[in-house]
Amino acid sequence: MRRQKDIERHYLDEARLAATSVFPGGTFEPSERPDFVLSLNPRALGIEMTELCQGSARAAGARLRYVLPEARRLYDRRPDAKPVFVNFALAPNLEVGTTVKQLSAGLADFVYEHRNHYGSFSWDEEALPDGFCHIAEFSPNEDGRWFHSAGSRTELVGPELILASITEKNERLAEYRKATPDVWLLIVNDLFLGAGEVCVRLDEIARSTFDFGFDKVLLFERQPGGSGKVIELRRAAARAA
C-alpha cells in the first residue's frame, strides 16, 4: 500500500509540474478516499487518481514477475548447477493460460542445458521454451545474476476506456465528498508503463465529452522521463428532465 501511494504521489507531482496553471499551490496530503487532499480557505480540494491501462494485461505483467525467482530456485536445485549470468525476455503476447509454473520450469530447463555453452539466443535462432523471445546466458563476473526484461506493446484506445475509468470512480464520488466538498479526478496515461500500456489521440479526447460528477476531470499523458501534457476533459451537457 505504501509503495502504491508513493507512485500516486510521483504521478501527482509530475502532473502539477506539467500544468502549473491548472493545479493550485500548496501541499497535497495523502488520504484514502480521495487519494490526496489540499487544505484551502475556505474549501478543501481532493484529488482522486486512477491509471488508464488495460487492467487484465497489467495484472498479468505483475504476475509474471514471479517467473525469475521461481526459475532460479528450480535451477539452483539441479545437480551440477553453477553460477551463470542470465537475461531473458518474455514474448510480448503470451498465450492465454500460460502459467508462472510453466514459464519458470521451461526457463530453468533451458539455462541448465546451456550452462556449459553460453550464448545469446533468440526465438528465430534457437528452440526457446514456450513464452520466451530471448534468453542470454554467460559466465558471471562474481555470483550468478539473473535479469528480466518484459516485452510489451502499447495499444491505441479511444474515449470508451476513459469513460469506463470515469464511471468506475463516479460510483464512489459521494464517499469522496464526505472528506472534501470539491473533488477532481486525475487520470494518468503513463506511456512508460509496460504491461497494459495504452495511448490515446489527444485531439480526439479533447473533442469528446464525458458524463461525470467530479468538479474537474484531468487526463495526464505522461511521457518517459516524467514530462507530459495535462488536458481537462469536457463534461457532457446535462440531459433534460
Reported as a single tens digit per residue, the pLDDT across 68-121 is 999 999 999 999 999 999 998 887 666 656 889 999 999 999 999 999 989 999
pLDDT at 239 over 70: no
Q: Which residue has the higher pLDDT, 62 or 181?
A: 181
Give domain status of residue 241, yes or no: no
Residue-level pLDDT at 233 = 98
Its pTM stands at: 0.70
Residue 59 lies in a domain: no
The range of the structural domain enclosing residue 24 comes to 2-54+157-235
Query: Is there a single domain that holds both residue 205 and residue 93?
Result: no
Kindly state whether residues 70 and 146 are assigned to the same domain. yes
Average pLDDT of the chain to the nearest whole number? 88
Q: Determine, yes or no, domain membership for 218.
A: yes
pLDDT at residue 224 above 90?
Answer: no
Low-confidence winner among 47-51, 109-113, 145-149 (lowest mean pLDDT): 145-149
**Overall domain count for the chain:** 2
Say if residue 48 is in the same domain as residue 101: no
pLDDT in tens, 156-211: 999 999 999 999 999 999 999 999 999 999 999 998 877 778 999 999 999 999 99
Confidence class of residue 131 from pLDDT cuts 50, 70 and 90?
confident
| 211 part of a folded domain | yes
Question: By percentage, how much of the chain surpasses pLDDT 90?
Answer: 63
Report yes or no on 207 lying in a domain: yes
HEC readout, the chain:
CHHHHHHHHHHHHHHHHHCCCCCCCCCCEECCCCCEEECCCCCCEEEEEEECCCHHHHHHHHHHHHHHHHHHHHHHCCCCCCCCEEEEEECCCCCCCCCHHHHHHHHHHHHHHCCCCCEEEECCCCCCCCCEEEEEEECCCCCCCEEEEECCCCEECCHHHHHHHHHHHHCCHHHHCCCCCEEEEEEEEECCCCCCCEECCHHHHHHCEECCCCCEEEEEEECCCCCEEEEECEECCCCCC
Query: Quick one: 169 and 190 in the same domain?
Result: yes
Residues 26 and 138 in one domain: no
pLDDT band at 137 (very low <50, low <70, confident <90, very high): very high
47 found inside a domain: yes
Asked whether 151 and 125 are in contact (CB, 8 A), the reply is no
Residues 47 and 89 in one domain: no
Choose one of 108, 132, 150: the last residue of a domain. 150
Say if residue 144's pLDDT is above 80. no
Asked if residue 19 has pLDDT above 80, the reply is yes
Tell me which long-range contacts 63-69 makes (C-beta under 8 A, separation of at least 24).
63/100, 64/90, 64/94, 64/100, 64/103, 64/150, 64/195, 65/148, 66/100, 66/104, 67/100, 67/103, 67/104, 67/107, 67/148, 68/146, 68/147, 68/148
> Of residues 40 and 8, which shows the higher confidence score?
8
Same domain, 111 and 185: no
Q: What integer pLDDT is reported at residue 62 of this predicted model?
A: 66
Is residue 240 situated within a structural domain?
no
Mean pLDDT over 133-148 rounds to: 79
Q: Predicted confidence band at 151 (pLDDT cuts at 50, 70, 90)?
A: low
Mean pLDDT over 144-152 rounds to: 68
Q: Of 150, 180, 202, which residue constitutes the final position of a domain?
A: 150
Shared domain for 11 and 75, answered yes or no, is no
- Of the three residues 102, 127, 150, the one that is the final residue of a domain is 150
- Residue of higher predicted confidence among 225 and 29: 29
Show the cell assigned to 17: 509540474
More confident residue, 44 or 144: 44
Give the pLDDT of residue 241.
47
Structural domain contains residue 192: yes
142 and 161 belong to one structural domain:
no
